[in-house]
Amino acid sequence: MALPLKAFLNALETSLPELNVEDVEVRLFLEGIYRYYGFDFRSYDLSWMRSRIKRSVCEEQLLTVSALQEKVLRDLGCMDRFLVNMSQQNMSLFGNPEFYLLLRHRVVPLLKTYPSLRIWMAGCSTGEEIYSVAIVLREEGLWDRMQIYVTDMSEAILKNARAGVFPVSSLDQYRRNYQLSDGKADFADYFSESSDGVVLDPELRSKILFAVHNLVTDGSFNEFHMIFCRRGMEQFSAALQRHVLLLLRDSLITFGYLALARGDSIQMMRETPGFEKVNEPSRLYRKVASS
């Protein structure tokens, strides 16, 4: 027997997820970006995406997500700014010095056993981690045998990281971080000051290749001895986190190292086959031989 119309509508309403107008706008925004530009953020965590999108709405001096969608689809410069917004985090040269101590004293001795090294930095934000790692590897004698591959989802993001320019106001903090990470030189040797800020030594870029790569839609492109993915995966859904972790695992040589963000899920790593922990508080893991 068919339900009365009112009962049917009530049942339908209770079976649907509760969405407000802004959530609908966000989902349409993500679908529009995917269809027009090919960037797939649809599996990202909705609350995280909402916060980034709302920040872009404010920065573009707009009132609604729908207005941002219209501008993004018609203005490539606006799209580039949105992608940069997506990648920005509070980063610092040698931020979390304990991680760089671990890199120097636990990982580097084993990396030295390889005749050549391929390092992948998946996600570069504004570039602080890139140059921190490059300095450590140069100071530890690996410079002549290594190649660092730096990737992110758009050329606009890579351009900012490639420039290697950071605020002068952060210089004292950078220097303290460097010293706490057992830096072996005078930190001033690695930068010069200009009207734009602190400019890192261009020599640090000589072993770095920058390229567009999207962890969500692109596959593995090499086998690496170490992968850094320390921008954090909190923006990904659980399913997307699993996808990315398997991609990173398949991109490592056996016994290669994976460094994640401190906020990434320990439980997710424990449930991902093929890894052993090296230092769980610092989210450092190693790929193990398949059985």
The pLDDT of residue 91 is 78
Average pLDDT of span 274-279: 96
Examine the pLDDT at 66 and tell me if it is beyond 80: yes
Same domain, 124 and 261: yes
Interval 10-22 mean pLDDT: 62
Q: What share of the chain is helix, strand, coil (3-state, %, to 5)?
A: 50, 20, 35
207 & 77 share domain: no
Number of domains the chain contains? 2
User: Does the pTM exceed 0.85?
Assistant: yes
Range of the domain at 139: 97-287
Neighbours of 153 (CB within 10 A): 22
Mean pLDDT of 180-198: 91
- Would residue 274 count as lying in a domain? yes
Q: How confident is the model at residue 14 (pLDDT cuts 50, 70, 90)?
A: low
Mean pLDDT of the residues in the chain: 90
Structure tokens at 147: 């190649």
CB atoms within 10 A of CB 23: 15
Given 87, 110, 126, the domain boundary residue is 87
Q: Within a domain: residue 12?
A: no
- What are the tens digits of pLDDT across the range 137-181? 999 999 999 999 999 998 988 998 999 999 898 899 999 999 999
Kindly state whether residues 218 and 114 are assigned to the same domain: yes
User: Does residue 103 share a domain with residue 138?
Assistant: yes
| Whether pLDDT at 13 is above 60 | no
Token pair for 249 = 């695992």
Is 196 in the same domain as 122?
yes
* pLDDT tens readout for residues 199-228: 999 999 999 999 999 998 999 999 999 999
Helices (H) and strands (E) in the chain, counts: 12, 10
Q: pLDDT at position 3, please?
A: 56
Domain presence at residue 104 = yes
On whether the CB atoms of residues 108 and 181 are closer than 8 A, the answer is no
In this structure, the answer to whether residues 52 and 167 fall within a common structural domain is: no
pLDDT band at 18 (very low <50, low <70, confident <90, very high): low
In the chain the beta strands, taken as DSSP E runs, fall at 117-122, 146-152, 165-166, 191-194, 197-200, 208-212, 224-229, 252-260, 275-279, 284-287
Residue 190: phi and psi, rounded to 5, are -95, 5
The pLDDT score that the predictor gives to residue 5 is: 61
Listed residues 87, 115, 148: the one ending a domain? 87
Residue 7: inside a domain: no
**15 or 68, which is more confident:** 68
Task: Evaluate whether residue 5 is within a structural domain.
Answer: no
152 and 273 together in one domain: yes
Res 7: pLDDT: 64
Based on the fold, state whether residues 118 and 80 are members of the same structural domain.
Answer: no
Find where tokens 């989210």 sit: 283
Co-location of 127 and 22 in the same domain: no
Q: Read off the CATH number of the domain in which 150 is found.
A: 3.40.50.150
In the three-class reduction of DSSP (H, G, I as helix; E, B as strand; rest coil), residue 176 is classed as helix
Q: Which of 245, 193, 194 is nearest to 216 (CA)?
A: 245
pLDDT digits (tens, 9 = 90+) for 35-61: 999 999 998 888 889 999 999 999 999
Q: Quick one: DSSP state of residue 253? A: E
Among residues 54, 87, 120, the one where a domain terminates is 87
Residues 49 and 184 in one domain: no
pLDDT attached to residue 291: 55
Same domain, 164 and 263: yes
Q: Is residue 8 part of a domain?
A: no
pLDDT tens-digit readout, 106-146 = 999 999 999 999 999 998 888 999 999 999 999 999 999 99
pLDDT given for residue 235 in this prediction: 85
Q: Note whether residue 4 is domain-resident.
A: no
Q: Is residue 2 part of a domain?
A: no
Does the pLDDT of residue 245 top 70, yes or no?
yes
Where residue 127 falls (left for φ over 0; alpha for ψ -120 to 50; beta otherwise) is left
User: Same domain for 144 and 256?
Assistant: yes
